[in-house]
Structure 1
Amino acid sequence: MLKTLLIIVSLCYPLLVYFLLRQVTAAWLLPLMFALLLWRACSSRDVVERRVLLLALVIAVALVLWLSPTQTLKLYPVLMNVSMLMLFALSLRQKHSMIERIARLKEPNLSAEGVRYTRCVTWVWTGFFACNGVVALATVFMSDQIWGVYNGVLAYALIGILLAGEWLVRRRIKTSAVSE
């Protein structure tokens, strides 16, 4: 139940903040962001993920000294993209990449071709999180409306497009392999 709530709050964060900024000052919402980062870190079972999220929390707290409360509050999507970028990139240095681990949940006996493919897909997601993080960072310094629309709607649409595109490519590759 708490894990589901954490996921919902995390996904809705940009839109929640956008609408709440009209009601209260950003300084009142900063503890929400810090608590959410801490909650995510503490609820993670993966040691690397926990460390990455705790690092994101430390960075967010430190940035309060240089940025306005509103800008700091808007950093959450940036920190999540950087965290995902780090997790995916670090997995490329390990025996099993992030996407391979996910694929092995469904197909434990993944072929050598499947391993190569999942490593390529992990690179694609790493690039996505890098680019999306840069755009999310740029929106921190834009209007609340642009920030909310990009991080609360467009970024998720891009994730959906990438997921759908990868699914279509994977399906085509599997179909080609079966017909040969």
Structure 2
Amino acid sequence: MTASPIDLDLGRAREIVARVADPEIPVLTIEDLGVLRDVRPGAGGGVVVDITPTYSGCPAMDAIRDDIVLALTAEGFDDVDVRLVLSPAWTTDWMSADGRRKLSEYGIAPPTGRAAHSRGPIRLAITVRCPQCGSLDTREVSRFGSTSCKALYECRACLEPFDHFKVI
């Protein structure tokens, strides 16, 4: 079965959008983060892109929206509509394994475990592994790090501070 021109264009549009970097953590793409939710046809032949913020009120969303529009228009997509989708709320469960690996390599402790859901026990992190030396002898310095979605930690073994991406 041969794909239609619309399917091919949407596939290409998704590939383009998937490469858009997160402005706060440039080693991650919005696809790595799970912020990119959908790329679909719009009315009149345009492209609609749905994104979900990691936090409501996330200041990076305006920059992400602009970067998506710039990336698509640079590749010949003239009619681009980027929509903010708040429900369901973003969860760290949507992050890719590759994104978690990139976070660790960048020096940010990735979220571990699964986000709390309406049923079952709520998991609490007892400790966070230092992305620099791998030690579990760490402590939370501040619930909020460089951005709202991260907490600031300190490693007691290597004495390095680091961000930890919170499980949401």
TM bracket (short chain): under 0.3
**Which structure is higher in RCO with an 8 Å CA cutoff and minimum separation 6?**
1
* Structure richer in helix, relative to its length: 1
* Structure richer in strand, relative to its length: 2
